[in-house]
Amino acid sequence: MGEQGRGRKPNFKKDGGRPKRRRVSPQKSKVHPEKSELIRLNKYLANSGVASRREADKLIEAGLVTVNGKVVTTLGSKVRPTDDVRFEGERLRREKKVYILLNKPKDFITTVDDPRGRKTVMDLIQGACDERVYPVGRLDRMTTGLLLLTNDGEMAKKLLHPSHGVRKLYHVVLDRKLTPEDKAKIEAGLTLEDGKVEVDEVSFIKDAPHNEVGLKIHLGKNRIVRRIFDHLGYKVIRLDRVAFGSLTKRNLRRGHWRMLNRQEIANLRMIG
């Protein structure tokens, strides 16, 4: 006789006989939530628009930064987004990134503040944003053309470092025609007082006299374009930066500025 006939109850489940599944709780991350939010202090300063990471390290070592009321001078220190981080007594907050492209005119100094009271590029972008922005590189007072200003310290550092090869294109007007011999010297590379200078390209401007030259270069040395031609005995009458990386002056009048669009920002972030 079968088991049922012996008085045993059939071993059926109420759900039709299918075994119940054991619920497995998802494993919780072993990383403490507060630790995952830690950020290096120099990066925090860079994100706040104070300076690049390298420059921020110098500010930290100089004792100009406090965290929760205490001076921090140890490089590599980390903070949380909720910490009270101050630079020279002013509390910092992680700002949204701002990128402003300016077509600089003559007679403006590329600096945030001039102790002699001269006009600066900051005067030209007054009211553009609430964030504190800084020029990426320099254009001397009499040089015109493209200048990028941003509070993105990491981006600025990358754009200025010669290893990333960000090219700048200049329209140069000389006091006399550039000779083929001197053009060849520039193409071969010149040795100036601070070392050898190599340009990416030098060419004559189409449909213009040969005292107008296009110079493409990725070096960021001070007054490098003027010094190249000074070395060969030429005087630079006008100097205009017409391109900076993938950015151009198209539809941007002298003395005016505009915000970069998303695609332009994405292109800059792809550098390096």
Q: Quick one: 139 exposed, middle or buried, by C-beta within 10 A (0-12, 13-18, 19+)? A: buried
Q: Which two tokens stand for residue 23?
A: 């619920």
Catalytic site positions:
140
Question: Residue ranges of the alpha helices (H) in 31-152?
Answer: 33-36, 41-47, 53-61, 121-124
| Strand ranges inside 7-135, DSSP E | 39-40, 65-67, 70-71, 78-79, 85-87, 90-91, 99-104, 134-135
- Quickly tell me which residue has 């600066």 as its tokens: 120
Phi first, then psi, for residue 235 (nearest 5°) are -110, 130
